[in-house]
Amino acid sequence: MNIPLRILIAIAALLAGPVSAQAQAAGPKRPANVPESYVITPFGYFHPSCVVHLAEGDEIRRDQTLVRHADGTTAAMHVCEYARYKADGESMFGDERAIAHPDINGYIELVSAVTKTSYGSLSAQWSVPARPHADDGQTIYIFPGLEDTQNTVTILQPVLGWNSDYPSAWGIASWNCCESGTVYEAPSARVSPGDTIFGQIHETCAAGTASCASWNVLTQDLRTGKSSALTNTSSFGQTFNWAFAGALEVYGVSRCADYPTTDAFAGGNTVSMNSLIVSDVNLVPLASPAWKVSKTPAGATPNCNYGAAVTKEIILNN
């Protein structure tokens, strides 16, 4: 059955693992020009060789162009030799676009803020939703994140994903993407509906550093203690001046029942992100970041009554 979707990301501006499985295969719902062998990531479709699953304790070191392993050994950073594709099938190396597809692919809801300087940290908590009513092979990501609006080389994200690392199940992972066309994923962990997820991105530099060279990214299940962490991961020379308080990104959604569900709201679905703390370049928590709600893509099909509003809290709903 089709259930009207009500995605709510409530951003309360209060001060307050096992070895990773492979990413989900693109499958038959991929845009027509995306090769079948490609996999889904929070950054689009990538050739499997360009998705690097890091081990616990691995560090991405831009200054040395290598990955330093926990045992002290090193390996050269991977350079992807294949094209990558955006969620809608657009090639990142040309104007090639996919044939029109009825499924929704890409960002559906996004709350973000841009600063004239840079951010020093971001953290949030959110609950793992129940499984979707329907399992049509869709992939769903929910996350906060940091990016550079002027020099987008990579994005840091603590991510909750459905049908991502674990088939027909929820999992968490920390990501750094996409220097030299490569995605880096920390070891993932499977989580359960109702668990509380804590996500944090924090620079390793002293307060006042406008462009810190390395960052820590943590995604943790507060009930089980399971976590996925990137330690001293490179910013690749960027200044993170763009903060995502919350984002919903989907691949292969064919009907409203493909979204996460909850029994708390009759006739709708809700994902709430709260306990948000965003710090400025001096690591001082910001009382009122200039949050902006991005519009849902025009003509999104299926139409699940998407909408957004900003009140005392930031609410994305439909």
Q: Is residue 34 part of a domain?
A: no
Q: Is residue 31 part of a domain?
A: no
- Percent of the chain at pLDDT > 70 equals 81
Q: Is residue 24 part of a domain?
A: no
- State the average pLDDT over residues 144-155: 89
For residues 292 and 30, is the Cβ–Cβ distance under 8 A? no
Nearest to 126 by CA among 62, 49, 76, 191: 191
For residues 253 and 2, is the Cβ–Cβ distance under 8 A? no
Of the two residues 153 and 199, the one the predictor is more confident about is 199
Q: What is the pLDDT of residues 191-223, one digit of tens each?
A: 999 999 999 999 999 999 989 999 999 999 999
Q: Is residue 286 part of a domain?
A: yes
- State the average pLDDT over residues 112-139: 92
Q: What is the pLDDT of residues 77-120, one digit of tens each?
A: 888 989 999 888 888 753 333 333 445 567 888 888 999 999 99
Of the two residues 253 and 272, the one the predictor is more confident about is 253
- State the average pLDDT over residues 4-32: 55
pLDDT computed for residue 99 by the predictor: 36
Q: Is residue 285 part of a domain?
A: yes
pLDDT computed for residue 174 by the predictor: 97
Q: Is residue 231 part of a domain?
A: yes
Sequence-separated (6 or more) residues with CB below 8 Å from residue 237: 62, 151, 153, 211, 213
Sequence-separated (6 or more) residues with CB below 8 Å from residue 311: none
DSSP letters, 218-270, are EEEETTT--EEEEEEEE-TT----EEEEEEEEEEEE-SGGGS-B-SSSTT---
Nearest to 223 by CA among 172, 184, 178, 284: 172
Mean pLDDT, the chain, as a whole number?
81
How far from 204 is each of 102, 120, 243, CA to CA, in Å?
Answer: 44, 9, 17
pLDDT computed for residue 151 by the predictor: 79
pLDDT computed for residue 9 by the predictor: 45
pLDDT computed for residue 275 by the predictor: 82
Of the two residues 163 and 298, the one the predictor is more confident about is 163
Q: Is residue 83 part of a domain?
A: yes
Per-residue pLDDT at 29 exceeds 60: yes
pLDDT computed for residue 22 by the predictor: 58
Q: Torsion over CA of 287, 290, 291 and 292, rounded to 10 degrees?
A: 170
Domains held by the chain: number: 1
Bridge-based pairing of strands 59-61 and 66-68 is antiparallel
* Three-state SS at 181: helix
- Give the Cα separation of 131 and 143 in Å (integer): 17
- State the average pLDDT over residues 133-162: 91
Element (H, E) at 145: strand 139-147
For residues 140 and 250, is the Cβ–Cβ distance under 8 A? yes
Q: For residue 115, what are the domain limits? A: 39-317
Q: Is residue 20 part of a domain?
A: no
pLDDT-derived band at 302 (thresholds 50, 70, 90) equals confident
Bridge-based pairing of strands 139-147 and 214-221 is unpaired
Tell me which amino acid residue 158 is.
P
Of the two residues 116 and 296, the one the predictor is more confident about is 116
Give the predicted TM-score (pTM) of the model. 0.84
pLDDT-derived band at 47 (thresholds 50, 70, 90) equals very high
Domain of residue 58, CATH code: 2.60.120.200
